[in-house]
Amino acid sequence: MPRPVILTRPIAQAEPLASRIRALGREVELLPLLEISPLPDQAPLRAALAGLASYQLVAFVSPNAIDAAFAHIPAWPQGLQAAVVGEASRLALIAKGIPASQIASPADPAHSDTEHLLQALDLAALNGARVLIVRGESGRELMADSFRAAGAEVTVLPAYRRAVPQLTPALARRLAALAGAPGGEGADWIITSSEALRGLVGLLKELNKLTIVASLQHHHLIVPHFRIAETARDLGFPNVTLTGSGDERVLAALQSRP
């Protein structure tokens, strides 16, 4: 019998991949390990986006950033360049009507991170330019620091909030059932952020179920980025498959496992 698949993406992005996994004949459990919510005060976000045409480049760090921003963007300014770190974000912008020719992204879709986006951009051309970065309330500073080092005037715009879910009795029961199932080879867990993986381990420790943490380490993790793989190994997970970015690579990794 095929192992179950635990998909831990935020719920808004989970269902398209879940449907494709089910089409492979695999059972899918949706277990969002990060909750995405709007900022309580939307006024600063609306005000910044009202002046979108004054920027030469707008960088979005995730599909969540795109969704949050486009709730306040009635029309994309003609000719405005966008930049994204991953293929999912690039496709999300195209779905919003942004021409692909105006979207900068890593040259190899398998490498969706800031480092590879910076390699794809002409940083020298940003000297003196106004650049907007749309992201969550917290995040890496590499992108902003690199744009400033190139001479750009950079505005970092928080657009949404990420949080590990609260440990309710219902969630506690689900975690114990999914992570602590005894015997066998366990499940295939699709983990799409280091923050989510650390949150998962934190929730299990909050349950005071270190035996469940140990059991989870016998499951198999499928991750799209080397930083998540490093986090997994630092946390003691030995069974990790690194796929590279994109749903196609995740599906291929699942198909390679009986």
Q: Please write down the HEC assignment for all residues of 90-104.
A: HHHHHHCCCCHHHEE
pLDDT at 140: 79
Sequence ranges of the chain with CATH classification 3.40.50.10090: 5-34+164-255, 37-162
Please state whether beta strands 5-7 and 188-190 pair in parallel, antiparallel, or not at all (unpaired): parallel
Which residues face 131 on adjacent strands? 57, 154
- The candidate with the shortest Cα–Cα distance to 190, out of 228, 234, 153, is 228
d(CA 79, CA 117): 20
* Cβ neighbourhood burial of 172 (10 Å; 0-12, 13-18, 19+): middle
d(CA 253, CA 231): 19
pLDDT at 183: 45
- Secondary structure (3-state) at 169: helix
Return the sign of the alpha-carbon dihedral for residues 110, 112, 116, 117.
Answer: positive
Q: What is the pLDDT along the chain (258 residues), one digit of tens a residue?
A: 678 899 999 887 888 899 999 999 899 999 999 999 999 999 989 999 999 999 999 999 988 999 999 999 989 999 999 999 988 899 899 999 999 999 999 887 767 788 889 999 999 999 999 999 999 987 778 999 999 999 999 999 999 999 999 999 999 888 888 876 544 457 899 998 899 999 998 888 887 755 656 666 678 999 988 889 999 998 888 889 998 878 888 999 988 876
pTM for this entry: 0.79
CATH of 5-34+164-255, one of 3.40.50.10090, 3.40.50.720, 2.170.190.11, 3.90.1720.10: 3.40.50.10090
209: tokens are 């179920």
pLDDT at 219: 85
Report domain 37-162's class.
alpha beta
Q: What kind and span of H or E run contains 223?
A: strand 220-223
